[in-house]
């Protein structure tokens, strides 16, 4: 038996904007420890390894931040704080039920366009 793949990857946006930038960002003085909370909670629950937390740059949904993306499933969670992250780990990652009330609005997260379709659109 080989080394098992992770069950989940959790991509946490760690982008911060310089002071004075009008665009919002996911990491501010109030939210700078959310990735640490995510990783620590996974460790405390004994599931780090089968759940892989990953720090990313901007995921292009800054106005809804702080955000994180759960894969598989393309589930984008928004407006995060520590309590919400803990609940997502318990209910979604362990329990198997997406926490719908924290999921991004469908208007901001519509169905993906395949790369082939995007190329075809560009060629028109």
Number of residues that bind ligand FES (CB under 6 A): 11
Question: What is the Cα–Cα distance from 112 to 71, expressed in whole angstroms?
Answer: 14
Residue 44 or 60 having the CB closest to ligand FES: 60
From 37, 41, 65, 102, residue interacting with ligand FES (rule: CB under 6 A)? 65
**Tokens found for residue 40:** 């620590």
From 67, 70, 80, 93, residue interacting with ligand FES (rule: CB under 6 A)? 67
Asked if 75 touches ligand FES (CB under 6 A), the answer is no
For residues 77 and 84, is the Cβ–Cβ distance under 8 A? yes
Asked if 87 touches ligand FES (CB under 6 A), the answer is no
DSSP assignment letter at 103: B
From 62, 98, 103, 104, residue interacting with ligand FES (rule: CB under 6 A)? 62
From 9, 31, 52, 61, residue interacting with ligand FES (rule: CB under 6 A)? 61
For residues 75 and 8, is the Cβ–Cβ distance under 8 A? no
Question: What is the Cα–Cα distance from 82 to 91, expressed in whole angstroms?
Answer: 14
**Tokens found for residue 27:** 């990491």
Site of interaction with ligand FES (CB under 6 A)? 13, 15, 25-26, 58-62, 65, 67
């Amino acid at each position: 038996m080989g080394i098992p793949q992770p069950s989940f990857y959790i991509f946490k946006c760690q982008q911060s904007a310089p002071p004075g930038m009008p665009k919002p960002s996911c990491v501010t003085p109030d939210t700078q420890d959310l990735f640490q909370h995510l990783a620590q909670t996974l460790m405390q629950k004994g599931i780090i390894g089968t759940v892989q937390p990953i720090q990313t740059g901007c995921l292009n949904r800054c106005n809804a931040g702080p955000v994180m993306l759960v894969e598989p499933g393309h589930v984008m969670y928004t407006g995060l704080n520590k309590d919400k992250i803990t609940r997502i780990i318990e209910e979604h990652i362990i329990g198997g039920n997406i926490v719908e009330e924290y999921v991004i609005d469908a208007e901001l997260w519509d169905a993906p366009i395949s790369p082939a379709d995007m190329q075809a659109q560009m060629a028109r």
